[in-house]
Amino acid sequence: MKKFVYASLFLALAAAFCGCGKSTGKADDNTPTAAVQETETADEAETAADAETVAEPATDEELTTVRERNIVSNDTYEYEVYEGSVIITRYKGSDTEVTIPDAIDGSPVSEIGFFAFEAMGVTSVTLPESVKVIGEGAFIDCTALVDINLPSGLVTIERGAFAGCSALAELTVPAGVKEIKRGAFAGCTGMTSLNILGKELSYDEWGIEDLPDLKINAPEGSATAGWAGAMGKLSFN
């Protein structure tokens, strides 16, 4: 599923390696040789590819951490305390119905970290109001997940956050969400209703194009309703 979610990211890189054009006419002393031209073109393509990779990883690898992490573990979670808030990095429990606490060790839980619940057999997850970020692939391949709330304080849903949650039929996105990134709902084949309360939420290839039964509920006259209507998936709140 990770490869499915990120496959579209390879398209940008492919463009960097398009074939170079042919030259015509007789070369003079000031004209670079074909070998030099090929080398320069290859160098430019490689530089472009490197720049693109830095900007947005074009692989299915997990995010790398650019800071030292101090992971703490209890019976249910692995987590870190960062800038006064808890980031849950891994669910260790066996319960299928999970209620995440609003605080751990006195610090508020602000983020569900990348791939924290990957392929877990959870059926229901209750997130606390303190959560602001659902990380990349946080619930990827949770194929049994049928119910999850998105708290009113949520701001960002990262790439592939719910990808492959094929049993998830309905989801409500609070008005405070500012960004949903690419592939967030890719492979959510059972989804039929996406309720978006925000009026200005823009669309960035969330992966819903291939969900034929999905209807998007959005405020009438909103920018959200505009792009949902253009996709033929609009229903009004």
Digit-coded pLDDT (tens) for 169-179: 999 999 999 99
Residues sharing a CB contact under 8 Å with residue 60, sequence separation 6 or more, in sequence order: 2, 3, 5, 6
Greater model confidence, 31 or 232: 232
The answer to whether residues 233 and 226 touch, using CB atoms and an 8 Å cutoff, is: no
For the stretch 100-124, pLDDT in tens is: 999 999 999 999 999 999 999 999 9
User: pLDDT tens for residues 15-65?
Assistant: 334 444 444 444 444 444 444 455 454 455 444 444 433 344 444 555 555
Could you count the other beta carbons within 10 Å of the beta carbon of residue 12?
A: 15
Please, how many CA atoms are within 13 Å of residue 67, restricted to the half-sphere of its CB? 7
Please tell me the class of the 74-236 domain. Answer: alpha beta
> Which residues are registered as beta bridge partners of 73?
78
**In the numeric block, which tokens belong to residue 195?**
């309720």
- Measure the CA–CA gap between 65 and 143, rounded to whole angstroms: 27
Q: Which residue has the higher pLDDT, 47 or 185?
A: 185
Helices (H), 56-84: none
Rounded distance, CA 92 to CA 71, Å?
Answer: 13
Tokens of 56: 């947005």
Structure tokens belonging to residue 173: 């996105």
- What order do you get walking across the sheet with 215-218 strand by strand? 170-173, 193-196, 215-218, 234-236
